[in-house]
Structures are given as C-alpha cells and as structure tokens.
Structure 1
Amino acid sequence: MYINKESLRLEYQVEAKDAGLKVIDVLATSMNISSRLIRKCKNHKNIFLNHKNGSVNRIVETGDIITMMLDHDENTFEPNPIDVEVLYEDCDIMAVSKPPFLVVHPTKGHPEGTLANALSYHQYQQKQNYKIRFINRLDRDTSGIVLIAKNAYAQQIISEQMQADEVGKHYYAIVEGVLKDDSGTIDLPIDREAELDIKRIVIESGLQSVTHYEVVEKFENHTFIKIELETGRTHQIRVHFSHIGHSIVGDSLYGKPSEWIDRQALHCYEMSFKSPREMEKTSVRCKIPADIESVLKRLRG
C-alpha cells in the first residue's frame, strides 16, 4: 500500500501478496505504474528499495519500502491574475470550476487569459511549481469541472480511467422543446464531416458515442435535464441533442442563439474517479452558475 502523500514521491510498503516478486513487478502490478514511467525513472536512477538505489530485479519481502521519485517538470504557462475556484485538491489531483467564456489552454487565438494561466497564478500564490496536466477539457462556453494532474503518475492513472470510460462525467443542460421520454440513451457515432471542420455530426463512419439523459424538469417549450457521458467525444452532448431535434439553449453552432443566455446552457456539475494511489472513489461537485439559474428562473416564472 502507498504510505505517503507527496506529489513527486511514490512510496509503497510491500504487502504479503507481493513478497517474492521483483521490484519491477511490484511497480507494474500493485503500484499500477506504466512501463514508460518505470523506464524513465529507472534511467534516471530514481527507484529505491529500502532507500537504496539498485537493480529493479531485486526480490522484495513483506514490509519492504519501494520508493519512486518522479521528475519535477516545471510549469511553463505565464501567470495571469485570474481567480479560480478550487473544488478539490490532494497530492496528485486538483479539480477546479471553469467559468463560461474561459478557454482551457493557450492557443494562437488565445495566448493568455486562459484557465492554464489562471492555474499558473494559483501556483505562484501557493508557492508551488508543477507542470499543469489537464485530464479533461471543456468548450470555451461550457462551464464546470476540469481535472488537473499534478504529476505524471496521476496523469497516467486518471487518463487510463478516462480511456476505459471509468470516470463519471455528469452535466446539466437546458434543451429546446419538450423531451417525450423522461430518460433515455442516445447511441449514435460522431465525427467531423470533413477533416478541418470544427463542427461535428452524427455519421455512420464516426466513433461510437453514448449519452444517457434524465429529465429533471419540463416546461412549456424547454426541458431541464441531467446527462451522463459514457464516452467523451468532442461536442458530444451538443451534437447528440441537436441531432434529435432538441439543441442546447443558446448553442449558436448546433442550434440557435438565445436572448436569455449568451452561451450554450451546458454545465459539468459532477465528476467521479478513483484516486491514483488508494483507488478510492472520489466525487467532485460544482454548483450551477448564475446564468443558467437565471434561465431556469425565467422558465419557472
């Protein structure tokens, strides 16, 4: 079991089930470390048994301590004084609330003023310095939870969970029209129609995309729903609901603009994952932002 809580040090106490194995085998199985990361740390002589460097083929006994030191990869984003709400933080993972209209990562069109720059400023205030590794991303106009890994190990573990569709991704949305069924699943493949298109479509040759939904509240011409993503394709929710004739309110790309809100009414309110070291289920929640609450107030009024 892991016995420490330091971002750049993984320290594991050998259990009875590991006794008689080689260090490298314990790293790969019980510690869940990728062969790529093991190789990198081995080359840098950053793997220790009972605090002594040596061969990764040494045999371990119950109670031995295996230590792996991770490289200190520095943050490279310029700090911008942008407030960011931290929803959850431990030695491996940070979860923050991304407000609408904030780009996640610098691009040619948005070299600064992004969530990455805000997180860099947060590090500066906390007197920390680590590479910002985004686990998930949200569209500029979608609000909600973004996960960040603080080290290469955490990035590997949570990314593997993402690829296996084991990370819970839950959204609220307000859609045009009244959904007939109170719950359902949209299982339709998605891809670009042409290689350079920003817009995605439902297309037979696309990647499998599965969206589950449940009605929270029905109005005269709109529906408030909660959504669980089984897969995580680009624009998946927006494409799926537009395709079935219920585009997200305010989605000017896949539907139409709204006089009530100047973005799509889509918010990631909960994400769940297994913590990298203990593999314990962790859930993070984020409250509905004011602009979506304002739309709901209008609809209820």
Structure 2
Amino acid sequence: MSNRPAAERRGEWLEIMPGRELDLQQTEQRHTRMMQWLESRSFPAKLLGRLHSKGEIKINGDRIRLRLFPAVEYGFEPRYDHPAEILYEDDYVLVAHKPAGMAVHPSDPQDTRITLAHAIAAHYESTGQDCAVRHVHRLDEDTTGPVLYAKNEFALSLLDEQMRDKHIGRRYIALVQGNVNEQLTVIDEPIGKDRHHKQRRRVSPGGQSAVTYIEKVAGTKAASLVRLKLETGRTHQIRVHMSYMGHPLIGDSLYGGRSDLLSRQALHGEQLVFIHPWTAEDIIINDPWPADIQKLAIDLKLIEKE
C-alpha cells in the first residue's frame, strides 16, 4: 500500500497516472501489463477481477481509469433524529463518534431504534454521497468512541485486511473499581460464551484467544483510570478481562460493576489509528472524553479539573 501512483477522482472513476512506470502507448499486451502493474501496486486482486469483468477498468491515453466510486444504496434508512458527529472524512473513509446508548447497526430487521448506521446514511444523503454504510469495526452499545467506515469496496477490502492483520490500533480509557496493580500490564486469557447468560461472555479455556494490554494512569483505593489496547477484538473483551482480574468497569452491571456512579460502563475509545487505504499514511483520530466519564474521573480524584 505504500507505492500508490498519482491519481485524481473524476466522479465515479479514479484516474491513475502511471507516468514512466508503465508505457501505455505500447499496445502489445498492454492490458495484461496494466493488470500486472496494478496488482504490483497493492490493488486487491479480487476487486480488480470484478472491475475487469464489468468493463470498469479502462485505458484513456496515458491514464488508467477504475470505477472505484459507483453509486451504491446506503443499505439503511437515513434518519436525522441524532446527526452524526464526523471526526474525519475523505473520498475513501469516514470516522464518526458513537455516543453512549446507540448501537452501531440494528440487531435484527425488527429493531426499530435509530443506530449509528442510520445517522451515517443521513449524513451521506445530506451531503449528496451515494455510499453504502460499511463499518470496519464495532463498539458496544454503551461504549463511546470512534467508528471507522469504508466508503467504497476498494477501501473496505484494504481496511478489512488491516483488521485481520491487527494493523488498526484502538486505544481505550476506562474507569474501573479498585486500585489496579501497576504490574498488571497484560491479560492473556481466552474468552467464550457464558452458557448461563445469553448476553455475557466469560474467560474460558475453550474460548477464543484474547489479549488486552493495560497501562495504569491513576488510582485510589476505590477506583483506577486505565488505558487499554487490544491485540484481539473479542465481544466485551475489555469488560470481561477487567472483571476477571477483579476490577470490573464502573457502571458495568453485567460484569459486576457498581451502577450507582454511572448508568453505563465507563469505557471510551479515545484514539483510532489506521493506514489510509490510498495514501498509506498513518491516520490518527483522537476522540475527546465524553462529559460523563470526565466528570466521574474528576469526582473520583483520578484527574484534576481543568
């Protein structure tokens, strides 16, 4: 992904300028050479094959045109009840803040609640963009933080690959019960389903591998502020791991946290880092702490009031 050629978007098409790297004036095996050249520049082979079969790769003089930005249905009804808070956006990706109490997408066809997917569809509609709403990762309903979206199939293919290869970095902050030992820096415990509770997960020898890295920022006898990074992305991973270590998240009643201080788990994704699918630059998105977590951290004397 680090050797992208010069290119410009022209409507639904991306116009690429190979320059001296590829002589398109030489007609012998020109198409084969073009396809090989595109693959050598880290274009997904499956996507190139689909574009080729649809006639959506063309040579125009000394330029290559790929139809990377076709008009696509949103996939979700645009709803304007809760406008999306956009943290970053360009032709390839969008990052939006997910507030507490809002799911990333509906749980089933009968789920009538507004979700972040509906808000993103409304954003696309209001800005005249015909993009499918495609999330790259998710957050629990009551967890706040940034959610990454791919705006076309090209970006989705590369971002999904980054997720599989663990190249998308997510850093969280949490307020947990008790004074965390500073020597607790990693939790490497498998997570599986809890057969006694449909929604819960638990540490289980037969579960999926799960690794959480921990940095204690501040602590008192009653509570601690920790930063966490995930090597894996299991359901409820941070919540399960911290509860297993005797430090459930404040507000997380599902995993033993006290709910009198906060009505949701005190967990926020404060930073998202990914490699841009076109430019290959590191994109760093910081999402400020929500007011309820910031106030609680001050009340618990874990941070000072600004």
Deviations 1:85-113 (CA, angstroms, capped at 9, x unpaired): 11001110000111100111023353341
Distance 1:5 1:184, change over 3 A: farther
Distance 1:9 1:2, change over 3 A: farther
Partner of 1:14: 18
One-letter code aligned to 1:73: V
One-letter code aligned to 1:271: L
Secondary structure at 1:283's aligned position in 2? Answer: strand
Distance 1:211 1:2 in 2: 39
Deviations 1:13-64 (CA, angstroms, capped at 9, x unpaired): 326566697222222220x23232112111110001236xxxxxxxxxxxx4
Which runs of 5 or more residues in structure 1 are unaligned? 52-63
Deviations 1:142-194 (CA, angstroms, capped at 9, x unpaired): 00000111101111111100110001100010111111125511111112244
Distance 1:196 1:177, change over 3 A: closer
Partner of 2:107: 107
Residue 252 of structure 1: how far off its partner (Å): 1.4
Distance 1:6 1:220 in 2: 59
Residue 217 of structure 1: how far off its partner (Å): 1.1
Distance 1:152 1:6, change over 3 A: farther
**1:76 is aligned to 2:75:** yes
Distance 2:166 2:196 in 1: 25
**1:29 is aligned to 2:40:** yes
Asked if 2 retains the 8 angstrom alpha-carbon contact of 1:8 and 1:151, the reply is no
Secondary structure at 1:277's aligned position in 2? Answer: coil
One-letter code aligned to 2:8: N
One-letter code aligned to 2:223: H
Partner of 2:26: none
Distance 2:174 2:197 in 1: 28
Distance 1:282 1:239, change over 3 A: same
Asked if 2 retains the 8 angstrom alpha-carbon contact of 1:169 and 1:272, the reply is yes
Deviates more, 1:79-88 or 1:148-157: 79-88
Distance 1:14 1:79, change over 3 A: same
Deviates more, 1:251-260 or 1:167-176: 251-260
Partner of 2:238: 237
TM-score (norm 1): 0.89
Partner of 2:63: 65
Distance 2:115 2:11 in 1: 24
Which runs of 5 or more residues in structure 2 are unaligned? 24-29
Distance 1:125 1:162 in 2: 29
Partner of 1:57: none
Distance 1:67 1:190 in 2: 46
Residue 72 of structure 1: how far off its partner (Å): 2.4
Identity score, percent: 33
One-letter code aligned to 1:48: K
One-letter code aligned to 2:207: G
Distance 1:6 1:171, change over 3 A: farther
Partner of 1:170: 171
One-letter code aligned to 1:40: R
Secondary structure at 1:118's aligned position in 2? Answer: helix
Distance 1:72 1:138, change over 3 A: same
Asked if 2 retains the 8 angstrom alpha-carbon contact of 1:80 and 1:112, the reply is no
Following superposition of structure 1 onto structure 2, how do residues 226-265 of structure 1 map, counting pairs within 5 Å?
226-265=227-266
Partner of 2:59: 49
Distance 2:116 2:276 in 1: 23
Pairwise CA RMSD of aligned residues?
A: 2.2
Distance 1:72 1:194, change over 3 A: farther
One-letter code aligned to 1:206: G
TM-score (norm 2): 0.87
Partner of 1:89: 89
**1:3 is aligned to 2:7:** yes
Deviations 1:266-289 (CA, angstroms, capped at 9, x unpaired): 000100011111111110010000
Distance 1:150 1:191, change over 3 A: same
Following superposition of structure 1 onto structure 2, how do residues 154-193 of structure 1 map, counting pairs within 5 Å?
154-181=155-182, 184-193=185-194
Distance 1:113 1:225 in 2: 31
